[in-house]
Amino acid sequence: MSNNGSIPAEELFKNGNQESLEALAAKQKRKKRWLVVQPKSLTALRTDSGHISIPLNMMMVASVASTMFDVDFIDERIGDELPADLSRYDVLAITARTLNVTKAYQIGDKAVSQGVKVILGGVHPTMMPEEAKAHCTTVVYGEIESIWEELARDILNDKMKPMYKSGELKSMTKMRQANFKFAESSPNYKKYSNLVPILATKGCPVGCSFCTTPTIYGKNFRMREVDYVIEEIKYHQNRLGKEKVSFSFMDDNICFKPNFFNELMDAMTGMGVTWNANISMNFLERPGVPELASASGCDMFSIGFESLDPDTIKQVHKGSNFHAHYEEVIKNVQKQKIAIQGYFMFGFDTDKPASFQATYDFIMQNKIEFPVFAITTPFPGTPWYDEMRPRLRHTDWEKYDTYHSVYEPKILSSEELIKNFIKIQQEVYSWRSIYKRMQGKSLNWVWFVNVAMHFFSKRLRPEMFI
């Protein structure tokens, strides 16, 4: 560990072959130069606007690459500008989700035309590797740490393959933290959210038909050693020069191993931090879970309710949601002064106009502090995409942002869907509804999010969603 508490990047993924890679790197006449790029999206609703999170995945890529290459980092979402001349770099590494893959492809095409080797990775290139290959030198399928040694060796030898895919996902038991100096080097660094991203686990065994997680991170639940998570929290406290740091766990679901969750909560208690995380409703039914989370600094749980219709839950294979227990569980969580960020999706084939009213009533009755609404979007590569493919209007990927209607539901017309989708947001985030849901609760960042959502929802118009 260095004097400032950070872990040297070369320790991120130590293994037996590291020495041979270092020896190979030492033979190079000069260090190859990398540019790691987080593209912005082109969607009209600007999903990536405002104070956004530091991209933890790209910090990991930059950190591991910096063990043997010179690395620069650019995040277009915060205003960093891509150089017109990319030929100074040997390698461009670009991440892409479906909503920003169009911009990622544009960058990739430009770099390739200038003779630069381009790596495309992230969710969309993993789900659509054949499409992505047309815009790069190589596609990284899944997580880069599981194929890093092979990729790094081939880059050093100037023999990159068209695709890298690991036969098995690497254990994350010993995974150390990324070096955030790459984000801090941007002149636009202050545009990032104060919530610091952190990761304790990967994978999700639930297998919802609309989710990309099983393909990217697997269905097996992998965990870091708790000591390394705590070490990372201390690194950020030291980096930011304060004890009270707010963390956002990027885990798809932090709770699948109760013993691990309990150990982590015990270790975080007394550290003076606050945190939020995704968690499943059925785990919150366990006695003592909200109390333990609250004691360790939890200020919000994110819960994917998705739908209040049991037929819909069955259709998307989300067996962790049981409507009968919602109110009791929610009340117990809120009793511990933990806010709930509730995710609700509309546009399923089972949805009716009454589904919106039922959801509104549920949110207001249970005083859900931070409701988030999405239009159902079949993401490429998922089972649901394959099922819905004949009904898709287009594959204009920048509109696959959960805010555009890309197919016609069976019961609702698109016009009804969009009209009610706008209406529920404007009603939930009216001043009257905000006050009713938030009355008596601590004046914290969740309050300010509600105010921001009020103004956001007021400007929504039907034409934005087509």
Distance from C-alpha of 15 to C-alpha of 236, rounded to nearest angstrom = 25
Average per-residue pLDDT in the chain? 89
Distance from C-alpha of 73 to C-alpha of 92, rounded to nearest angstrom = 10
- Same domain? For 105 and 199 the reply is no
Phi and psi, residue 184, nearest 5°: -65, -20
10 Å Cβ neighbour count for 315?
Answer: 17
Per the DSSP assignment, residues forming a β-bridge with 35 are: 72, 92
Cβ atoms of residues 97 and 32 within 8 Å: no
Residue 12 has pLDDT above 80, yes or no: no
Structure tokens at 171: 């254990």
- Same domain? For 450 and 320 the reply is yes
Cβ atoms of residues 252 and 234 within 8 Å: no
Distance from C-alpha of 216 to C-alpha of 124, rounded to nearest angstrom = 10
- Same domain? For 312 and 459 the reply is yes
- Give me the pLDDT at residue 146, please: 87
Structure tokens at 71: 């690395």
Q: What is the CATH number of the domain that holds 390?
A: 3.20.20.70
In tens, the pLDDT along 321-370 reads: 455 578 999 999 999 999 999 999 999 999 999 999 999 999 999 999 99
Domain residue limits at 82: 9-165
In tens, the pLDDT along 37-52 reads: 999 998 766 554 457 8
The CB-side HSE value for 133 (13 A sphere, CA atoms) comes to 9
Domain assignment present for residue 3? The answer is no
- The region of weakest confidence among 108-122, 269-283, 317-331 is 317-331
- Same domain? For 412 and 277 the reply is yes
- Same domain? For 220 and 120 the reply is no
Distance from C-alpha of 430 to C-alpha of 458, rounded to nearest angstrom = 9
Domain assignment present for residue 348? The answer is yes
- Same domain? For 123 and 208 the reply is no
Confidence bin at 318 (pLDDT 50/70/90): low
* Alpha helices by DSSP H, 241-373: 258-268, 281-284, 289-295, 310-315, 326-335, 353-366
Question: Cα–chain-centroid distance for residue 428?
Answer: 25
Q: What single-letter amino acid sits at 261?
A: F
- Give me the pLDDT at residue 326, please: 87
Q: What is the CATH number of the domain that holds 48?
A: 3.40.50.280
- Same domain? For 159 and 199 the reply is no
- Give me the pLDDT at residue 316, please: 60
Helix and strand numbers (H, E) in the chain are 19, 14
Structure tokens at 456: 């956001």
Q: Please tell me which residue, 222 or 295, carries the higher pLDDT value.
A: 295
- Same domain? For 211 and 270 the reply is yes
- Same domain? For 161 and 241 the reply is no
Residue 317 has pLDDT above 70, yes or no: no
- Same domain? For 136 and 280 the reply is no
Distance from C-alpha of 157 to C-alpha of 356, rounded to nearest angstrom = 57
- Give me the pLDDT at residue 45, please: 62
- Overall average pLDDT of the 206-219 stretch: 71
Helix axes 431-438, 445-458, angle to 10 degrees: 160
**Domain tally, the chain:** 2
- Same domain? For 201 and 317 the reply is yes
- Give me the pLDDT at residue 314, please: 66
- Overall average pLDDT of the 87-95 stretch: 98
Last residue of a domain, one of 148, 165, 182: 165
Distance from C-alpha of 331 to C-alpha of 339, rounded to nearest angstrom = 10
Residue 398 is classified by DSSP as: G
Domain assignment present for residue 175? The answer is no
Strand ranges of the sheet holding 196-198, from the earlier edge strand across to the other edge: 196-198, 246-249, 274-278, 298-306, 339-346, 370-375
- Same domain? For 158 and 202 the reply is no
Helix (H) or strand (E) holding 372, with range, is strand 370-375
Domain assignment present for residue 171? The answer is no
